[in-house]
Amino acid sequence: MSNKQKALQDIRNAVGTEVGECSVDEFISHHLEELPSSYWKAKTGVEVPEINQVIDLLILRNKWDDEEVYDFTLPDDVTDYVISVKYTDNGELEDIDMES
């Protein structure tokens, strides 16, 4: 599993948890409210996607070279927000945040 895949899996694992509450869950609920149903329909085939369908859309916006930090966002530049996944030097999950 690549580091990018690991980060996406950690995002999935955070859904509905204390870690995910102010990051993944907030990112998804915010964008489900703010983006038009036509965006979701074009990307997922449905007007109101499930959480996993939104996560499946995430693309890597940035990988910080000096740290193990991966920033994921939605395609087509529809948002300035990212889900930022941070790891310690030994590869342990440190934090997941929603940032702009």
User: How does pLDDT run across 32-72, given as a tens digit for each residue?
Assistant: 999 999 999 999 999 999 999 999 999 999 998 778 999 99
pLDDT mean over 72-84: 98
| 1 has a pLDDT exceeding 80 | yes
**Residue 35 burial (10 A CB sphere; 0-12, 13-18, 19+):** middle
The predicted model scores a pTM of 0.95
pLDDT of residue 65: 74
Within a 10 A sphere around the Cβ of 64, how many other Cβ atoms?
Answer: 11
| CA pair distance 61, 84, nearest whole angstrom | 10
| CA pair distance 71, 95, nearest whole angstrom | 12
pLDDT in tens, 11-35: 999 999 999 999 999 999 999 999 9
